[in-house]
Amino acid sequence: MNNSDKKSPLEREPYSYRVITDNKVFIYKENRLLIMLRNNQAEDFIKKIGELEGPKAQKYMAKLAEELGPGI
């Protein structure tokens, strides 16, 4: 069994994000767009994600996607 098979789903880092210049943040799961944050939500996300790394950042993005997303 390969070591990557033993990783939890969040350790595989399925979530990513992209910030664009007009104060928007796009959050993706496995390259699929889940949610877009604007204005204050985007600013709050950028501040918070800057403090996190690895599994903690993944957990934060998963929580946001669950709370704000359309039901993934």
Q: What distance in Å separates the CA atoms of residue 21 and residue 61, rounded to the nearest whole number?
A: 20
Q: Name the one residue in this structure whose structure tokens are 């998963």.
A: 62
Amino acid at residue number 56 = K
Instruction: Extract the tokens encoding 25.
Output: 């943040």
pLDDT(7) > 90? no
Per-residue model confidence as pLDDT tens digits over 41-52: 999 999 999 999
Residue 25, classed as helix, strand or coil, is strand
User: Is residue 71 pLDDT above 60, yes or no?
Assistant: no
